Amino acid sequence: MQVVWFKRDLRLADHRPLWEASRRGPCLCLYIYEPQLLHSPEFDASHLLFINQSLQELASQLRRVGGQLAIRHGTVPEVLDELHHQHGIEALWSHEETGNSITYARDLQVAAWAKRLGIEWNEFPQSGVIRKLRSRDGWAKRREYFLKQPLAPTPTSITCPRYVDSGRLQSAEELGLTPTNKEHLQAGGVAEANQVLSSFLEYRGQDYSSSMSSPVTAFEGCSRLSPYIAWGCLSVKQIVQELGQRRSELRDAKAAGEHIGNWQKSLRSFESRLSWHCHFMQKLEDEPEIEFQNMSRAYDGLREDEFDPGRFEAWCEGRTGYPLVDACMRALLRGSWINFRMRAMLVSFASYHLWLHWRPTAVFLARHFLDFEPGIHFSQFQMQSGTTGINTVRIYSPIKQVHDQDPEGKFIRAYVPELAAVPNEYIAEPHKMPLSLQGKVGCVLGKDYPRPIVEHATAYRQARERIYAVRRESSARNQAIEIMRKHGSRKRPTRS
Ligand SMILES: Cc1cc2nc3c(=O)[nH]c(=O)nc-3n(C[C@H](O)[C@H](O)[C@H](O)COP(=O)(O)OP(=O)(O)OC[C@H]3O[C@@H](n4cnc5c(N)ncnc54)[C@H](O)[C@@H]3O)c2cc1C
């Protein structure tokens, strides 16, 4: 039998391994709960819930075309070995994965297992990320070419191998995880993914460019596709092609004299985010070490030995005394999503103001992002922490961000109820309220809400001095040239 191994590609459409395998004879679709991934500190029961919702739909879609989803729990080589002994595997089919060190090591074991038994393992790319890329020159064109190719056809009939036990979905408890208590999670599955995509392309996306930065508007105005892309309910190719169709409809509408508002600008901006998706993942594909190591080794030792557990804990719990930082963290703890600018601010605050090394903070947020995608996550973390050495140093002011993104404190008040009655003029810096006012609005600093954990101006200045001191060193400058050559975008930066 052919085995199609599903990982972060929980769909039937545009699934080339499935299409190819299904044409070769009896074919078993397989999902494996991998203990090493489930119990890694980056994994959370909210991820499992999303995966299970997606698997449930996948199983029923497969049944409709005669196929079967088998679910197993164990290490991949062991599960494959058992299936092989029971049923005989002719070939293994899957998508390439740009994962973390655990999936990388597991892939090496699977490759060794397949080689030992003479079983062919056929892997296919699933986004614009290119394996064994020799140079970034010409990368964008190769990505574009891949995404323009037709989608892999969806099989209309699959022949199942006989007598294979389907296994079943397993709950968090059964897998040894604490169930999630998050209330505002996006639901998994292809139907939901398609609904989110079409609502974005048909009406929600019109003001994407102007609504993406503020947490007040971003929940509705951003595409919210990230978990569906990360777990593969939709392929990037599908999204890019649907986007292309929508853009041509809008061009026709405009040519016919219709008013199309901000659609064109917004969809251009969305398209560039989708290319960033592959651009950032390509960095981890090309240099897996950046999951753990500073991209520029010139920054080694900058923060590692100064890790303050108390500061880390306050940041993780949304108790820093900076209202927007705390609101974003508490929103994440409830719903596992926050928009890009607020992610950048959270990380900037941790890495600069609190001077925390990015690795523990990255692991914490990985667990709390439903869309955790190692390639984007670690690359973005390093960029926002200044350790790539090639990106502009951006230290966000958690006070200015309130004035810019939530001046009336709507988002802050929704997630930090202690500040509900604080007047707008103090919402960015409640510790500046006179004591009498603190009492009157029921928010006494140090009692009802924390005083700022660090003083902004001092922390900002010190962080700037320290990061620029390294950046000026000749070794850092030389490394930056090398890093730019290896990972730098060859495109001129856009302003959106
Ligand atoms: C520190 C940090 C960590 C991040 N970790 C992740 C992560 O683990 N997984 C993840 O999908 N995104 C991550 N991002 C990128 C970005 O914040 C999210 O992709 C985005 O907020 C998801 O919401 P959306 O789907 O509505 O995005 P949209 O704005 O609607 O964008 C559409 C898609 O484009 C891609 N994209 C958007 N922004 C970026 C970006 N800056 N870099 C790379 N790809 C992008 C995503 O696939 C996203 O789903 C991170 C950003 C930062 C600053």
DSSP states along 1-26: -EEEEESS---STT-HHHHHHHTSS-
Q: Is 233 helix (H, G, I), strand (E, B) or coil?
A: coil
Nearest to 136 by CA among 298, 285, 299: 285
CATH topology of domain 2-126: Rossmann fold (3.40.50)
The answer to whether residues 266 and 175 touch, using CB atoms and an 8 Å cutoff, is: no
Q: Which CATH architecture group holds 190-286?
A: Alpha Horseshoe (1.25)
Mutate to test the pocket of ligand 1, among 242, 340, 349 (most ligand atoms within 8 A of CB): 340
Atom of ligand 1 nearest to the CA of 228: 49
Atom of ligand 1 nearest to the CA of 344: 53
For 145-200, what is each residue's pLDDT tens digit?
999 999 999 999 999 998 999 999 999 999 999 999 999 899 999 999 999 999 99
Cβ of 294 closer than 6 Å to ligand 1, yes or no, is no
Enter the DSSP assignment of 354.
S
230 CA from centroid of ligand 1 (Å):
10
Mutate to test the pocket of ligand 1, among 211, 239, 273 (most ligand atoms within 8 A of CB): 273
Q: Is 172 helix (H, G, I), strand (E, B) or coil?
A: coil
With b for 16 or more beta-carbon neighbours within 10 A and e for fewer, the 148-187 pattern comes to eeeebeebeebbbbeebeebebbebeeeebeebebeebbe
461 CA from centroid of ligand 1 (Å):
29
Which residue lies with its CA nearest to atom 29 of ligand 1? 222
Tell me yes or no: is domain 290-487 CATH 1.10.579.10.
yes
Cβ of 228 closer than 6 Å to ligand 1, yes or no, is no
Tokens of 34: 């991998």
- Per CATH, 2-126 and 190-286 having the same topology is answered no
Q: What are phi and psi of 17, to 5 degrees?
A: -55, -40
The strand order across the sheet containing 69-73 reads: 69-73, 27-33, 2-6, 91-95, 120-124
371 CA from centroid of ligand 1 (Å):
8
For 103-116, what is each residue's pLDDT tens digit?
999 999 999 999 99
77 CA from centroid of ligand 1 (Å):
32
Atom of ligand 1 nearest to the CA of 372: 8
Question: Would you give the distance in Å from CA 236 to the centre of its chain?
Answer: 13
Mutate to test the pocket of ligand 1, among 44, 192, 226 (most ligand atoms within 8 A of CB): 226
Cβ of 367 closer than 6 Å to ligand 1, yes or no, is no
User: Torsion-angle region of residue 37: left (phi > 0), alpha (psi -120 to 50) or beta?
Assistant: alpha
pTM over 0.95: yes
340 CA from centroid of ligand 1 (Å):
6
The answer to whether residues 343 and 359 touch, using CB atoms and an 8 Å cutoff, is: no
Enter the DSSP assignment of 39.
T
Cβ of 345 closer than 6 Å to ligand 1, yes or no, is no
Nearest to 83 by CA among 30, 142, 38: 30
Cβ of 219 closer than 6 Å to ligand 1, yes or no, is no
Cβ of 381 closer than 6 Å to ligand 1, yes or no, is yes
Q: Give the pLDDT of the chain (496 residues) as one tens digit per residue.
A: 999 999 999 999 999 999 999 999 999 999 999 999 999 999 999 999 999 999 999 999 999 999 999 999 999 999 999 999 999 999 999 999 999 999 999 999 999 999 999 999 999 999 999 999 999 999 999 999 999 999 999 999 999 998 999 999 999 999 999 999 999 899 999 999 999 999 999 999 999 999 999 999 999 999 999 999 999 999 999 999 999 999 999 999 999 999 999 999 999 999 999 999 999 999 999 999 999 999 999 999 999 999 999 999 999 999 999 999 999 999 999 999 999 999 999 999 999 999 999 999 999 999 999 999 999 999 999 999 999 999 999 999 999 999 999 999 999 999 999 999 999 999 999 999 999 999 999 999 999 999 999 999 999 999 999 999 999 999 999 999 999 999 998 876 554 4
Average pLDDT of the chain is 97
Cβ of 278 closer than 6 Å to ligand 1, yes or no, is no
For 234-243, what is each residue's pLDDT tens digit?
999 999 999 9
Cβ of 340 closer than 6 Å to ligand 1, yes or no, is yes
226 CA from centroid of ligand 1 (Å):
6
339 CA from centroid of ligand 1 (Å):
8
Tokens of 368: 């709390």
Please state the domain extents for the chain.
2-126, 190-286, 290-487
Cβ of 8 closer than 6 Å to ligand 1, yes or no, is no
